[in-house]
Amino acid sequence: MSNRITATAMQLAWDSETQSRKGYVRPRSDDPYHSYRWTRLSRRWRAEHPVCAECLKSGRYVAAEVVDHIVPWPVCGDFFDEKNLQSLCGPCNIAKGNRDKKLIQEWHRNNPQSK
């Protein structure tokens, strides 16, 4: 009997967590950059890829500061797709961010229903 109640309570807790992750319960928390999943993923990614991917292309080993989406979010569609991630140093991230801006603006023009 008590086991059953516990199981139900756990299911409810899990459901509400799942819903809040999807943004149904707390729509303002749907920014994936502030999700626990991203914190965990980006931390692991940086540990595994500590060098800036852009600088590495020209043979320089520069410590990465951020995890970047190669195809920017939300254009890429899947925020957590690890095939779309790379580590970047500060300057490379800023340079790429400026290039990404155009892509993101265009995406919003083509997807007016999104905010």
Residues that bind Zn ion (CB under 5 A): 52, 54-55, 62, 89, 92
Shortest Å distance, C-beta 38 to Zn ion: 21
Which is closer to Zn ion, CB of 28 or CB of 57?
57
Which is closer to Zn ion, CB of 55 or CB of 67?
55
Buried b (16+ CB within 10 A) or exposed e, 30-54: eeeeeeeebeebbeebbeebeebbb
Which is closer to Zn ion, CB of 62 or CB of 67?
62
Shortest Å distance, C-beta 46 to Zn ion: 14
User: CA 110, CA 115: separation in Å to the nearest integer?
Assistant: 12
Instruction: Give one word for 113, left, alpha or beta, with left for phi > 0 and alpha for psi -120 to 50.
Output: alpha
Shortest Å distance, C-beta 3 to Zn ion: 54
Tell me the CA end-to-end span of the chain in Å, nearest whole number.
Answer: 47
